Structure 1
Amino acid sequence: MLAPAAMHLVDSPFADRLATNYVPSDSDILKIRALLVEPEEELARLDARIDELEATLFELREKRASLKTLIDAHRALTAPIRRIPHDVLLEIFFSCLPSTHNALIDAAESPMLLGRICSTWRYVAYATPRIWSSLHIPSPSYSPFIPPHIESALHRVVAAWLERSGTCPLSISHSEGIDHWDEPFLSQILKVAHRLQHIDLSGTVESLIPFLRLGPQDLPLLQSIRINVPSETTYNLTDRMDALQVPTLHQISLDLSLDPLLLPLRWEQLTGLNLACRPVWTDDGLVGGLTSAGILAVLSRCSNLEQCRLRATARDLDLPSEPSSITLPSLHTFILEDNFLPECVLRLVLPKLRHFQIGDFSTFFAMTEFGPGSPGDTELRADIDPEGYSQEDLVQLLRHFSRISHLRLSSRRMYTYGLVLVDEEFLAAFYSTPDTLCPMLTHIAFNTPYTPPSDAAALAFVSGRMSAGLPLQHFGADFGRPMEMDIAPHLHHFIEGGLRLSLNYVSPRIWELDPQAGLSDTLAWI
């Protein structure tokens, strides 16, 4: 509602000229100024009143904040966490520890943060060795020009941390740049070698030898080991790896340049294996690495494997002529990094397999588009990058793993020069009878560049699959192109029955003229 002094502006003689390009005359300007005298005075009074009310409101808010601070401080005394039993508090502390990596030397994270809340929490945390049983020692070499007093302080923190861990089994990780290895850190690790349960070391050959020479008597608790030598030749290191012969060792991860078949491992006791062994040039030519024949040889020695990741780093001239199969009765996760379909995979019998990944993947990634959670006893999730495969190769692979329930065809590249063509013939194999491809399939995702050739082909695939035995529950495609037709209305009946579609398209590109295209930065000739 307008103030009384401004009401007459509603009937202003200039009302029909407002918000126009009208140019007032000198006499009109005098009239407009006279017309605005009272409204402008009223506006000033309103501004003054607003300032007064805002000052009052500010004062009230200040009083409220002071009162609330006192109330909250008193209420905090009644917080249930103050009276929580120590055993329950410890369970909370354990739940706060990192689960995907070793604990960090970071005041903003557990367990160090637990000692910064109050004296009671600090006492409980510092008096519980298990809280300090894992540790990642950061590498000073990744922080150039680190001041000596900072590095010295870090050594003291590590020493105090290990002391707080008491006699608990330890999980330690430490990585150095290839041009630097800090001997005091290695010395600290070697002093607690008898308590090491899990160890993850990355460094130079020279730096690793003191640890690798430790024998079973020095590492009585060791269960898992990860060794990474980024670039150096380690072909002659196999005779100095006593640590790999520890009888309690069940999980091995090695990223080295050597022949894995020469490793002094107790293969039959391994439940977890990760090998990325690169070939090296010697006087006898290229030796080492892991070929398809080598993969078969390794797997034939590991009858108790449950998880396995192998990187094929060398090529076979020929596989052994005998097509004998290898059965791994407990293997549930198998990841093979390779650019070509190795024939060795088709010789594997894996009755408990639940996760399968094959292709040129730089990292393992979860199949998030299919939802969270672990696969059930009857599910087999496969993630395949068929770069370099022929269509026949891919079909052969899918027929070999006929229990696949969740399938993703994808690549870490946007474009591929591979041989696989996801065409109508390939898609029809999934719903043609009687020899249907992947009869247990319920979830499938096609990611660029392995996508159906058209929306019509995608519609035919889903419709055909829904009427060919086990119906789809999820169909996803990342087309990398604009939509040609909306297939959802044609699948409405199936969607109502539970089918979930996840279709991603690129928005059509709208051409726009760039007025500056080809414009030189300056008008000068030189």
Structure 2
Amino acid sequence: MDELKTSFRILVSSRRLCLLLRLKRAVMSSRTSPFQHILHTNTVPTSSQCDEIRSFLHPLRPELSTLDAEIHRLQTLLDAATKERNDLHGFVAAHEALLSPMRRIPNDVLGLIFLHTLPERRNTALDASEGPLLLMRVCRYWRDLTLATPRLWASIHLVLSPHASGRLVNCLDDWLARSRAVPLSITMQTPRHFPRITPLPRSESEVNESLKTPLQTLLLASKRWQRVRLAISVAEEALTLSRLTKDDLPLLSTFDLTLSAAAEESDHNFNFLATPALRRLAFAGAYDVLPQSIQWQNLTALQLRAYHEDTPCAFPYAFLVHCTALERLALTISGNQVSVSDERVQLPRLTRLSFAFFGGDPNNGQTHALAILERLELPVLHTMDIPFTPASEDLFQMPGYANVRCLILAGMMLTADELAALLARLPQLSRLRLTGEPIVRDPINGNIPDGEFLRRLVVNPPEGDAANPPLCPALEQLELTSTRAVPDSLILAFLVSRCIPPNLSVIPQLKPLAAFSCMCYRLAQLDVRNTPELASALSNGLQLRLIYEPPPLLARYSPLEGTEREPPRPHHVVHRSRLEQSSWLHEFSPDRFFEW
């Protein structure tokens, strides 16, 4: 009843105010000012005119005060009604919250939803903005459920800090305790933007013997390690890790170890890698540090970044003959101490090979890399990744390599003619990814990107007919991850020639293009997606991904340079916001080799 009375008073007062304002407006509209000719101008009135203006405004000021008082009274009534309305709204909302379907979700279902909030392709960072630490901040009920769900705490991404080791240890203690008996997935790395951790002087180390490091804390839960990636930067950490035995790691299935030069100086063995559960291994360091006690016959994926600086070695590596179950192999060989023997190794199950070679004679580095790959017999290989080494046409004449159906190449290391000759050896190729454009070798100006290389893949009947099929007739996916010179008009011509039915009927072995992706470091020249020529192809399922990132701005001359008003200099980096959202760009990155 009180609310009705208040509302009625406001309604009556509002009507009074409206009537009063209408009356005032009528009066004001009928008023004329004797100073109309100088109103809204920059005219300076005389002293006598100033006296006349004051006399003219004197009777109007009480009316203005009356209106102000009426507005204040009504505003007071409105504020009181608004407060009562907000209180009632809050009271109703509190009761409606009890009816929320979220309250009736069972704990096991809600816990499963929580698990799907974790990062999909990496471990959870020890940060309040993600993972269980974020879920705990919602309400007490979610906090209790988060603490009671051990799988939320079994994923750990740890970035070491030389200034916050104690805090990290305390945080790790909490995470490990909350994960209970669940197998652990761990990544540990050193920061990129801080000095690397240096070992303490001997005297100070002895004083702090009782202090645990993050690695030592993790070692306490080694029996639960399942998927682990470690970056070891100092010798003390390598020695700590070497104290493990294979019995300490009964669940370890995936292990990724990166050693710095300083870490390799210690007397370590890493014999714990002999654990029979190990299936996927990544190792980056000196080749002679790699333990030979690994049960190679159990490995299904191997990523080896081996450095041969002082110890001569012959390829194929002795352990490769035992890797009969290997399905994925990534080899990065660096150094001048690698020779090639006459032996050959067959990997009967290997389907994906990534290869990079750095070292040897600069004049015949490609030949040396070819000799290394020639020692591998790969009967079921279908994916080949050559990210840094110039690919050779001769490679794909070898048995095993000629059947590649997915190829990832560093395009900027080849000319358009070399690329065309290479692709001519791969009639079964269905997916091609090029990093950068092929080049035109100019002895004066250096290598120039060749924006016309894509024309080699454009189908132009009758030039490409059944008797003379075009390059890569089975190509269904083409990805260009870093282009600058290829024009949009050529991209459109390529898409039309590979998708339009007339070409497909003239060349029976030509497969329609299913997907095209391109990362262009330039501005868009055409609206390729909305061209009429591609309307039918897009409606039939063509996946078209075009990303345009303008080149970074160059610093310009400014007369304010050297003053506090100097304009900020543009950063010579590409904006990464949209690039990070395009997962296809990172599909063949080394970090994704194990589908982490």
Give your verdict on TM over 0.5. yes
1:183-262 alignment to 2 at 5 Å? Answer: 183-203=212-232, 204-232=234-262, 234=264, 240-259=269-288
Q: 1:275 and 2:304 equivalent?
A: yes
- The separation in 1 between residues aligned to 2:529 and 2:229, in whole angstroms, is 53
- The separation in 1 between residues aligned to 2:91 and 2:418, in whole angstroms, is 73
Give secondary structure in 2 for the equivalent of 1:90: helix
Contact 1:386–1:418 (Cα < 8 Å) also in 2: no
Q: TM-score, normalised by structure 1?
A: 0.69
- The separation in 1 between residues aligned to 2:428 and 2:66, in whole angstroms, is 81
Per-residue deviation, 1:246 = 1.3
Contact 1:326–1:348 (Cα < 8 Å) also in 2: yes
Match of 1:422 in 2: 450
Amino acid of the residue matched to residue 86 of structure 2?
A
Match of 2:511 in 1: 470
Per-residue deviation, 1:240 = 0.9
- The separation in 2 between residues aligned to 1:117 and 1:461, in whole angstroms, is 52
Give secondary structure in 2 for the equivalent of 1:256: strand
Structure 2 residue corresponding to 1:90, chosen from 111, 121, 137 = 111
Per-residue deviation, 1:396 = 4.7
Contact 2:321–2:345 (Cα < 8 Å) also in 1: no
Structure 2 residue corresponding to 1:305, chosen from 318, 326, 332 = 326
Q: 1:68 and 2:89 equivalent?
A: yes
Match of 2:535 in 1: 495
Per-residue deviation, 1:258 = 3.0
Q: 1:135 and 2:135 equivalent?
A: no
Amino acid of the residue matched to residue 74 of structure 1?
H
When residues 6 and 86 of structure 1 are mapped into structure 2, their CA distance, relative to the original with a 3 A threshold, is: same
- The separation in 2 between residues aligned to 1:457 and 1:117, in whole angstroms, is 52
Structure 1 residue corresponding to 2:122, chosen from 101, 110, 128 = 101
- The separation in 2 between residues aligned to 1:159 and 1:455, in whole angstroms, is 55
Contact 2:153–2:176 (Cα < 8 Å) also in 1: yes
Amino acid of the residue matched to residue 223 of structure 2?
H
Give secondary structure in 2 for the equivalent of 1:437: coil
Match of 2:176 in 1: 162
Give secondary structure in 2 for the equivalent of 1:234: helix
- The separation in 1 between residues aligned to 2:98 and 2:415, in whole angstroms, is 70
Per-residue deviation, 1:248 = 0.9
Per-residue deviation, 1:224 = 1.3
The count of aligned residue pairs is 478
Match of 2:79 in 1: 58
Q: 1:444 and 2:464 equivalent?
A: no
Contact 1:410–1:450 (Cα < 8 Å) also in 2: no
Per-residue deviation, 1:162 = 2.9
- The separation in 1 between residues aligned to 2:492 and 2:86, in whole angstroms, is 62
- The separation in 2 between residues aligned to 1:443 and 1:13, in whole angstroms, is 82
Give secondary structure in 2 for the equivalent of 1:277: strand
When residues 111 and 423 of structure 1 are mapped into structure 2, their CA distance, relative to the original with a 3 A threshold, is: closer
- The separation in 2 between residues aligned to 1:14 and 1:247, in whole angstroms, is 101
- The separation in 1 between residues aligned to 2:305 and 2:114, in whole angstroms, is 36
Q: Tell me the C-alpha RMSD between the 2 structures.
A: 5.0
When residues 43 and 306 of structure 1 are mapped into structure 2, their CA distance, relative to the original with a 3 A threshold, is: farther
1:318-397 alignment to 2 at 5 Å? Answer: 329=349, 331=351, 334-336=353-355, 342-343=369-370, 349=378, 351=380, 353=382, 356=385, 358-359=387-388, 383-397=408-422
- The separation in 2 between residues aligned to 1:243 and 1:227, in whole angstroms, is 12
Q: Deviations over 1:146-183 (max 9, x none)?
A: 7xxxx2x6545533443443333333343454415974
Per-residue deviation, 1:88 = 2.5
Amino acid of the residue matched to residue 109 of structure 2?
V
- The separation in 2 between residues aligned to 1:439 and 1:162, in whole angstroms, is 54
- The separation in 1 between residues aligned to 2:446 and 2:289, in whole angstroms, is 29
- The separation in 2 between residues aligned to 1:59 and 1:297, in whole angstroms, is 87
- The separation in 2 between residues aligned to 1:390 and 1:445, in whole angstroms, is 18
Per-residue deviation, 1:184 = 4.3
Give secondary structure in 1 for the equivalent of 2:286: coil
Give secondary structure in 1 for the equivalent of 2:186: strand
Structure 1 residue corresponding to 2:198, chosen from 179, 183, 195 = 179
Give secondary structure in 1 for the equivalent of 2:387: strand
Per-residue deviation, 1:223 = 0.9
Per-residue deviation, 1:463 = 4.2
- The separation in 1 between residues aligned to 2:384 and 2:410, in whole angstroms, is 14
Match of 1:369 in 2: none
Contact 2:331–2:356 (Cα < 8 Å) also in 1: yes
Match of 2:507 in 1: none
Structure 2 residue corresponding to 1:3, chosen from 25, 41, 45 = 25
When residues 395 and 302 of structure 1 are mapped into structure 2, their CA distance, relative to the original with a 3 A threshold, is: farther
Q: Deviations over 1:85-118 (max 9, x none)?
A: 3333432343344443334444554434555666
- The separation in 1 between residues aligned to 2:562 and 2:168, in whole angstroms, is 55
Q: Deviations over 1:329-371 (max 9, x none)?
A: 4535x544568875366877575746856248xxxxxxxxxxx
Contact 1:178–1:230 (Cα < 8 Å) also in 2: no
Contact 2:436–2:480 (Cα < 8 Å) also in 1: no
- The separation in 1 between residues aligned to 2:36 and 2:408, in whole angstroms, is 72
The gaps in structure 1 that reach 5 residues or longer are 361-378
When residues 355 and 21 of structure 1 are mapped into structure 2, their CA distance, relative to the original with a 3 A threshold, is: farther
Contact 1:5–1:38 (Cα < 8 Å) also in 2: no
Amino acid of the residue matched to residue 494 of structure 1?
L
Contact 1:359–1:385 (Cα < 8 Å) also in 2: yes
- The separation in 1 between residues aligned to 2:529 and 2:138, in whole angstroms, is 57
**Greater alpha carbon shift after TM alignment, 385-394 vs 19-28:** 19-28
- The separation in 2 between residues aligned to 1:252 and 1:426, in whole angstroms, is 38
Q: Deviations over 1:59-108 (max 9, x none)?
A: 33322332233333333334444444333343234334444333444455
**Greater alpha carbon shift after TM alignment, 19-28 vs 52-61:** 19-28
Contact 2:406–2:429 (Cα < 8 Å) also in 1: yes
When residues 42 and 183 of structure 1 are mapped into structure 2, their CA distance, relative to the original with a 3 A threshold, is: same
Contact 2:489–2:526 (Cα < 8 Å) also in 1: no
- The separation in 1 between residues aligned to 2:119 and 2:526, in whole angstroms, is 45
- The separation in 2 between residues aligned to 1:126 and 1:74, in whole angstroms, is 28
- The separation in 2 between residues aligned to 1:77 and 1:475, in whole angstroms, is 50
- The separation in 1 between residues aligned to 2:351 and 2:180, in whole angstroms, is 36
Match of 2:18 in 1: none
Give secondary structure in 1 for the equivalent of 2:459: coil
Match of 2:17 in 1: none
- The separation in 2 between residues aligned to 1:39 and 1:406, in whole angstroms, is 84
**Greater alpha carbon shift after TM alignment, 85-94 vs 313-322:** 313-322
- The separation in 1 between residues aligned to 2:151 and 2:522, in whole angstroms, is 53
Contact 2:480–2:518 (Cα < 8 Å) also in 1: yes
Q: Deviations over 1:34-58 (max 9, x none)?
A: 7777887766665555544444433
Amino acid of the residue matched to residue 331 of structure 1?
T
- The separation in 2 between residues aligned to 1:111 and 1:17, in whole angstroms, is 70
The gaps in structure 2 that reach 5 residues or longer are 1-21, 191-195, 201-210, 359-364, 390-403, 505-509, 565-596
Match of 2:10 in 1: none
Per-residue deviation, 1:242 = 0.6
